[in-house]
């Protein structure tokens, strides 16, 4: 089973934004990808929300 969700890293803990369909104690494998808008901010003269919209409208990351 594959589940995709966004998360935030705070105080040494990775916290998902939504509820995950997992049992207590279940082991998972995590692939961490940094938000591309953070690494490209200032390189392209667009606002953060505009960059997010462009990324969501393309197939970025699905290959």
pLDDT in tens, 26-49: 999 998 887 766 666 666 677 778
Residue 58 lies in a domain: yes
* Inside any domain, residue 7: no
- Specify whether the CB–CB gap between 55 and 49 falls below 8 A: no
* Residue 19 domain-assigned (yes or no): no
- Is the distance from CB of 8 to CB of 36 less than 8 angstroms? no
Number of H helices, E strands in the chain: 2, 2
Task: Say if 1 falls within a structural domain.
Answer: no
Parent domain of 37: 30-63
Q: What is the DSSP letter of 55?
A: H
Whether residue 38 is contained in a domain is answered as yes
Count of structural domains, the chain? 1
Tell whether 8 is covered by a domain: no
Q: How far is CA 37 from CA 8, 10, 41, in A?
A: 15, 19, 6
Domain assignment of residue 51, yes or no? yes
Q: Write down the pTM of the prediction.
A: 0.49
- Residue 62 falls inside a structural domain: yes
Residue 11: pLDDT over 90: yes
């Amino acid at each position: 089973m594959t589940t995709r969700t966004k998360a935030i890293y705070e105080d040494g803990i990775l916290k998902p934004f939504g509820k995950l369909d997992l049992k207590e104690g279940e082991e998972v494998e995590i692939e961490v990808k940094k938000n591309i808008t953070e690494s490209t901010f200032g390189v392209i003269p667009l606002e953060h929300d505009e960059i997010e919209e462009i990324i969501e409208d393309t197939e970025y990351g699905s290959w």
